[in-house]
Copies of this chain bind each other. A is one copy, B any other.
Amino acid sequence: MPLTPEQQAEISEQRAQSAPTRRVVAPGMEQHLYTAQPVLDHGFVRVIDYMGDDAAITQAARVSYGKGTKAVQNDEGLIRYLMRHWHSTPFEMCEIKLHVKLPVFVARQWIRHRTANVNEYSARYSILDREFYIPAEEHLAKQSVINNQGRGDTLVGEDAQRVLEMLKADSARAYDNYATMIDEGEDGNGIALARELARMNLPANIYTQWYWKVDLHNLFHFLRLRADSHAQYEIRVYAEEICRLVADWVPYAYKAFEDYRLGGAQLSQPAVEALRKMLKGEKVEAADVGMSAREWREFMDIVS
């Protein structure tokens, strides 16, 4: 785990605090507050704050004066209806704030999701820690030969060892030189290079951290893309950890998300057409509905 005793003490102090509030409280989320859930070799995700719960979604959808809850059952039905019909604004009424520690190359993918608020640890101002992501051996894989941007077979034997050695050696050397460059020296005779310059020597597997705040609608969009099996493993594990937190926070909304987004499928107009014929017992081929070979293959993966 990547926390120093001081950091652990600060987190424990936060967890120990408790105060009464008139706001909506989500018991499933309270239990996770501040706890650092480990991800990868040095990373974590921890919930710093949240706003709203399942009822807050329906309350906003109804623009109601009270809790917006007539019956629990109605709430779940309405949430599923909203999800099914792409109503986004009620889900935007819930908000979550996370503290995340993650490798820079993961951060670069993550930040592409623009509708969120971010404060990142500044390497212009502060010194980065000597912490690098080194993959577990079972996560080293060859370039896929069927998918141009994915992984294929797992690397074995000597090749895996060579990769790990290169990654470790280059990380260590890069950090040593970074430290040398910024060192002021005991007597002020160090190089003391500006931090904003020295950081350029550090590789993309170094860890950074940030506060990331996002509403539930945009979080679901992030999770749909990043908890997907085509997402890079190193960001997917963060998404999966967040999925677990969200499932405890807004269980109805998460279940609807799982059913309609994560686990569902998007069919094209020609695919729907093909499907209708197939259900009538007709024999259909790609050409009959104007689909390319690739489109047909992806369609077959869904229905069989």
- List which A262-293 residues lie within 8 A (CB) of chain B: 262-272, 275-276, 278-279, 292
Complex Cα gap A33–B232 (Å): 36
Q: List 11 A-B contacts (CB under 8 A).
A: A50-B51, A84-B266, A93-B97, A105-B200, A112-B118, A124-B232, A143-B195, A170-B170, A203-B203, A259-B268, A276-B303
Q: Which residues of B contact A93 (CB under 8 A)?
A: 97, 117, 119, 211, 213
In contact, B267 and A65 (Cβ under 8 angstroms): no
Copy total for this chain:
4
A residues adjacent to B (C-beta < 8 A): 3, 6-7, 10-11, 13-15, 17-25, 30, 33-34, 48-52, 56, 59-61, 63-67, 77, 80-81, 84, 86, 89-90, 92-93, 95, 97, 99, 103-105, 108, 111-112, 114-115, 117-122, 124-125, 133, 135, 140-144, 148-152, 155, 159, 162-163, 166-167, 170, 173-174, 177, 180-182, 184, 191-197, 199-205, 209-211, 213, 215, 225, 232, 258-260, 262-272, 275-276, 278-279, 292, 294-295, 298, 302-304
